[in-house]
Chain A
Amino acid sequence: MSRASSPEWWPRWRRFKDRCATLVISTGGGVVLFTILMLFVFLIYEIMPLLRPATMAPQPPLALEDVGAPAWLEAEEYGMLTFILAHDGTARFNRIADGSEVKRIRVADAGQQLVAASRRGDGALALGYEDGSVRVIRGSYSYTIRDGQRQVKPELDYPWGTAPLRFGESVVNRLAMGLGSELMAVQFASGELALWRPPVTTPVPEEGLPAPQPSPISLGVQPGAASLHLMDDNRWLVLLTAAGSYQLWSLMEAPVLAAEGQLFSNAEVLTASTLLQGDLSLIAASSAGGLYRYLVTGRGESGRLSRVRSYDTAGVVIDRLLPEHRRRGFLAFGEGELQWFHATAGERSLRAPLALDASATVALSPRSDRLLLVDEQGQVRQWLLENAHPEVSLTSLWRKVWYESYDEPAWVYQSSAASNNYESKYSITPLAFGTIKAAFYAMLFAMPVAIGGAIYAAFFMAPSLRRRIKPLVELMEAMPTVILGFLAGLWMAPLVEDNLSQLLTLIVLLPVGVVVFALLWSRLPLRLRGLLPEGWHAILLLPVIAGLAWLALALGAPVEQLFFGGDARSWVSTELGLAYDQRNAVIVGIAMGFAVIPTIFSIAEDAIYSVPRHLSQGSLALGATPWQTLTGVVLPTASPGVFSALMIGFGRAVGETMIVLMATGNTPIMDFNIFEGMRTLAANIAVEVPEAEVDSTHYRILFLAAFILFVFTFGLNTVAEVVRQRLRARYGALG
């Protein structure tokens, strides 16, 4: 069928097809554009929650009968139950949903009044009675799933036995329970301070049998405590008085008073104090609105309480502190407001009005998602809280932080450890530093080789040779980095360790040897020199360089004898005082340098080669030597292109993963020592992301690392691209 005789719908069909094609193509372009945007947006979407402030939403209050102001209040894990302990010794569990009572147990005999309660660690609660006896209880919950609904059954445990333990006749004034409920510190109204260890009990002591009495250790009469704290796996006991003085007892062996002093300067008075999760940090608030974090530094008798950080309460005097159960965060109440801090991040993530009477009791649920408050009237008020990633703030990511168990502030990246109590340390700085270090040493090696090679290939090399060298370099660019990394880690690292002096000799010998050879060559008779075609120096040098490498290997041993006392490896550690890792920055520098040489070479070569010829020809015609022409005319013109080549090469080195992963020990250290390794942002992602729990802080930190890499390399490439565009325009104008 010829087009001329095509039916009348034919043109319309063609127009339709044309429109369809445009649509399909535009859709394809749109999808690609969308994907690129998605890459950017998704990374931001994953890291945004890190910086989101906390929220607090009030829930309808519950009215419970005959509660009064309780002695103790806590919330069960899933926010289903409250546990309220009244001063008269009634312990009761109520449903949060409707206020109905689930269970009621008396933990005091009739007429006994509870005077102190303190809870630490595994949820054990120490009760002190007016008659000087103590008892340890613990609310425990068992769960069953019925019809897809979680059911909870509360129970009360007595880890130290059901019968109260009696020590003195005096009234219990203050109590502290150690981690794992293995130690209790008690101060009586008489001022006597004592330590108790738990009696050895059968799991469920039989009714009626007298509980075995533990033997308490008396620490003598001490000033009246406002609070007692057992810190760091019961290694320390801290006694704080209302006046703001402290006593630090070391409990490692026989208890000994390690230090005494004032918490605050001036005449400030202690208004509140608490330990944070892990029992390593003490938070204390002063009457002047100060809020400080203290750590115990040193060991044994030389232990000291050091103030490591202060928190900005905006002048509010804090009179109540409430620690989180699973994080180093705490709530601070005072002057009718609530402030939420994280001890490590140091930032306030929430500030909200909340009046708290002296007799009211507050509790945080174990997951920090619910705040309960019982006031004098027995009304239970509650709020839902949300604060997903309080441990991260801009300052804690980049600045030095004084972590627990450290003697000074430091940049630390350590995302996990064996201990449960461990606080993850997310400082991006060591990773960024490692990234820059690796890229720096790579550029140190790559720059001279790549730029020198590019200059020669573009300006001096014979065209026939250049046509062959270029594809070879492109081929080199496609070399999988996993192979370079493998060779670097398994072959080169041990080789370099054994042949340090040989490597050093090679570095010195190569340029010197080439120049000496060139000098000798220039003294040869013209007839001989004429045999070498123009621009084939590089080929002539191949055997020379191979020979020099062999010479360096042979000279290595004498050099080692002469300069390094026979063993360069130990010379580095003894004479220079530098640590030596087998997989270090030298190895990374060489391997990664090798990976970026082709990139830099080919872009720089393009830039130099495209310098309009009449410029160099003019210069040569005026009598300049080729080298003078190059440095005076060609390079200044091409320098933006060379610069952009370096930037692109640097960008590649920054993002390279496999080489760094395989050729270093991946320790996140902050040391520019060339003989030590590093951990880079990229390698860190590769190592840790498979283990990171989805949507955890750790996971988002890794996305943040990816985002930093993305923005950095994208920016670098954009700048390089702009520079190249400008250069192209300039060449166009010159030509």
Chain B
Amino acid sequence: MSVERKSLYLGRRGGIAHWFRSGEPMVWLNAGAVSFALLSVFGLLWLLAWHGLGHFWPRELLEFSVSREGELYTVLGEQVSRERVSTDQLRAVGVRTSASGKWELRRLVKRGNRDFLDTDFAWLLDSSIVEIRRPRAVMRVERLEWGNLYGRLLGIEDRGKPVATTAAADEAATWALFQALVAENEVMRAAIRDLEGEEVGRINFDMERLRLRERRLALAGEALPAELAERRRALEADYEVARQRLLTLYEQSERYSYRVALADGREVTLPLGQVVRAILPNDMGVLSKLNYYRVRLWEFLSDDPREANTEGGVYPAIFGTVLMVLLMSIMVTPFGVLAAVFLHEVAGQGRVTRVFRAAVNNLAGVPSIVYGIFGLGFFVYGVGGELDRLFFPEALPSPTYGTPGLMWASLTLALLTLPVVVVATEEGLARVPQSIREGSLALGATRAETLWRVVLPMASPAMMTGVILAVARAAGEVAPLMLVGVVKLAPTLPLDGNFPYLHLEQKFMHLGFHIYDVGFQSPNIEAARPLVYATALLLVVIIALLNLAAVALRNRLREHYAALDAPV
């Protein structure tokens, strides 16, 4: 319609008043609304990508000489940002500035070394910086605790005895030895993790089951069979073995330490076992930087979080999100499809059906938090509490299912996304021409056979679309999950090697909640912020992919049945 309407108008060149009267400016303003929305979306995505992906790139280390009240001191770290700030504001918080203007530039520098300085970030006023250097041999060490360390490597010690020093002019060899030890240490840590996670985890799990079994027998008033005590002894012996092995490993990992010179001139000795990885950022080529980037990106996707979720990866959150969404689709698909088939194929199209359909549709507009509180009150406390009383009396008063967990979270989200599946499936069913159903029935098929062999296969892409949209919605939903099952840090994954393998009663981690938690409940927000951006980007990418899949599927479906829509 838009093509024919303006050509008349284009040629006319009236006065400005005429131009305004014609409404042309309003058209432009409306166009501006579209452009504004588009720009905001792209800006938002760019913002996430910039901050999220930039985090893994090794930044240059800068050494600032700063003068404060006549005293000169040195700060070593990564420059995070630079901003303008009003001098009044600075004075209001008691910062003395020498600048005369109204505005001052300042930089946020991540200087790390939280165990030696009180904060790991520092604001430096540009006016107070005397000199900026880019020293070559400064290293950035990621550690298991206390965040990053920045400094110069002085030497390596083996149980207190120096084995290599940079002072002996053998800088490269010391660095190589350091890297080799870090790599060795990595292997050892993996062994410890395996031992603690799997072996000890299994023993603890069996112990707990044994305890519950004894309790159950005691509750039933039966005598404890001797084999239980034997089993317990065997487990305790297993545990002792595992503990010894762990002790040995720990002892080995504590063998080496390294000496570092900090920016303020202090020399400290730190355990090498705490080092995750170390680099000399100012001494790296593009290729090694790229490699480092790849390693850290992979760590982010595949590793457990460290340091109150502000470092490390988000693997458990990805796992939890995916598992929860899978369980949810297993629950929502059959019921959604059945309800849609019922509405469209079985029930008479009377007033009751119309009301039912409207109710299902309108459920989509009910706030998710309402589902959350319903899930908590009805599923967790109601159904879960009842299940506990019936089937798990031995664990009481600590609840098994009467507490938020994976199962209730999936169930609540299944309820939340039910309208999505119902509406999409009904739409698909409505697209199947009536003539096809009639044809099938005329050939003698029963209604069930018509449904199963003719109608449902034709509507299946619509169902898939519905399920994908439901999954996309569920993956991004956080508010209800906060009430029915997510936690900031789950000690174990809900899927493991211990019977029954899938632990529906366990709490789990979730990407969306991870964003909320790390961004807003973290003690060190500044340090956690880049990771939150990265997590947000990951979530957006997952959801965008799911949605694109749904759109593609829907388009294919439309093409596939385009012929069927033609008048018969």
Contact = CB atoms under 8 A, between A and B. Distances in A.
Chains A and B form a bound pair: yes
Interface of A: 14-15, 17-18, 20-22, 24-33, 35-36, 38-39, 42-43, 46, 448-453, 455-457, 459-463, 469, 471-476, 478-483, 485-487, 489-491, 498, 510-511, 514-515, 517-519, 522-523, 526, 529-530, 534-535, 537-542, 544-546, 549, 557, 566-567, 570, 594, 597, 601, 613, 616-617, 620, 625-631, 648, 651-652, 654-658, 661-662, 682, 685-686, 689-690, 694, 702-703, 706, 709-710, 713-714, 716-718, 721
Tell which of B85, B356, B374 has the most Cβ of chain A within 10 Å.
B374
Q: What are the 3 tightest A-B residue pairs by CB atom distance, in nearest-first order? A: A627-B23, A655-B367, A28-B338
B360 interface: yes
Interface string B1-23: 11111110111010010010011
Given A22-B346, A542-B39, A515 B479 contact: no
A266 to B, nearest CB: 51
26 contacts: A14-B449, A21-B447, A25-B338, A26-B342, A35-B418, A43-B370, A452-B32, A461-B2, A472-B41, A473-B37, A478-B472, A478-B547, A480-B477, A480-B478, A483-B48, A517-B28, A522-B24, A539-B35, A541-B31, A613-B1, A616-B1, A620-B5, A625-B9, A628-B23, A703-B377, A710-B370
B27 A626 contact: yes
B359 to A, nearest CB: 6
Q: Name the interface size band of chain B.
A: 35 or more
Nearest to A619: B5
B32 A541 contact: yes
B377 A483 contact: no
Contact of B343 (A29, A538, A617, A721): A29
Contact of B338 (A20, A24, A517): A24
A519 B3 contact: no
Interface stretch (B112-120, B162-170, B535-543): B535-543
A518 to B, nearest CB: 4
Contacts of A538: 31-32, 34-35, 38
Nearest to B45: A479
A567 B548 CA distance: 46
A579 B382 CA distance: 44
A537 B451 CA distance: 49
B402 to A, nearest CB: 10
B446 interface: yes
Contacts of A483: 48, 476, 515, 536, 539-540
Contacts of B454: none
B366 A713 contact: yes
Contact of A534 (B2, B370, B515, B547): B2
Contacts of B37: 449-450, 453, 473, 476, 597, 601
Given A28-B341, A479-B540, A515-B25, 16 more contacts: A21-B448, A22-B447, A39-B415, A451-B33, A452-B29, A478-B544, A479-B476, A490-B525, A522-B13, A537-B27, A597-B37, A626-B27, A657-B368, A662-B520, A713-B367, A714-B362
Q: Dominant SS at the A interface?
A: helix
Given A452-B30, A655-B370, A534 B338 contact: no
Interface string B479-490: 100110000000
B372 A651 contact: no
Contacts of A459: 1-2
B146 interface: no
Nearest to A24: B338
A721 B478 contact: no
> Among the interface residues A27, A485, A601, A652, which one has the most CB atoms of the partner chain B within 10 A?
A485
A667 to B, nearest CB: 16
A627 B34 CA distance: 17
B33 A18 contact: no
A449 B36 contact: yes
A161 B531 CA distance: 64
Interface centre among B6, B33, B360, B536 (most CB of A within 10 A): B33
Contacts of B368: 655, 657
Contacts of B41: 472, 476
B483 A456 contact: no
A32 B48 contact: no
B44 A487 contact: yes
Contacts of A36: 359-360, 363
Contacts of A18: 446-449
Given A478-B473, A538-B38, A486 B536 contact: yes
Contacts of B548: 475
A544 B39 CA distance: 11
A630 B30 CA distance: 12
Contacts of A463: 2
A713 B365 contact: yes
Nearest to B551: A471
A617 B529 contact: no
A32 B341 CA distance: 12
